A = this chain, B = another copy of it.
Amino acid sequence: MTTLSPTPRSTVHRGKNRAVADREALYRVLDAGLICHLAFVANDAPVVIPTGYGRDGDTLYVHGSTGARSLRIAAAGVEVCVNVTLLDGVVYGRSVFHNSVNYRSAVIHGRAMEITDPAAKLRGLRVLTEHLAPGSWDYAREPSAKEVAKTAVLALDLDESAVKIRSGPPGDEESDVEADAVWAGVLPLRQEWGAPEPCPLIGTPRAVPRHVAQRSR
């Protein structure tokens, strides 16, 4: 197990028993998520936006349109914070105070660097594409130089990261457990893919490709 190096900011201050200081756990959370929440400071005020991301080793790529104000600010090398949270269930306690959620959450602090080298940028775009839609890069048309230019790719190092996980039944008060007056437990939450919906502009009827029809993650 590789231990994440916690800094004052990435140290989990609450629920230390939930902190899993393990790089593999970080990778698992990041690889299981679909979108991240990216926070930065604009005009002295916090801004948080949902956006696509992808991981390559210890680099997290975040992307967006070069026209988006948020990406222009984040690309300027300011400090950002990224969170990826997966909700696994709602925890019903014997008291409402012990209601909770089961979740896996990763937080990353750092300075995002904009990737400008064309080959490196294309590599980043491939990582981003394959994270959101595995199998797409080899199947669909690759981006043109103009399209690459329209996209901003930011890279963020995973050095300053933390993972927090909660699982299992409620942590109720002993007196409530002894009273045994109500049901308590977990209602699990799952994300499931529905049936693929073909674009109405498809001319010739075409089978749904394997990477879409049999998508697992």
Contacts and interface: CB of A to CB of B under 8 A. Distances in A.
Interface of A: 9, 13-14, 34-35, 37-50, 52, 65, 67-69, 79-83, 85, 87, 89-90, 92-97, 99, 101, 103, 105, 107, 109, 125, 129, 132-133, 136-137, 139-144, 147, 150-151, 169-170, 172, 176-177, 180-204, 206-209, 212, 215
A159 to B, nearest CB: 15
Contacts of A50: 37, 83, 85, 103, 105
Contacts of A35: 85, 87, 101, 103
A187 B136 CA distance: 13
Contacts of A193: 187-190
B191 A172 contact: no
Chain copies in the assembled complex: 2
Contacts of A101: 34-35, 52, 132
A199 to B, nearest CB: 4
B188 A202 contact: no
A202 to B, nearest CB: 7
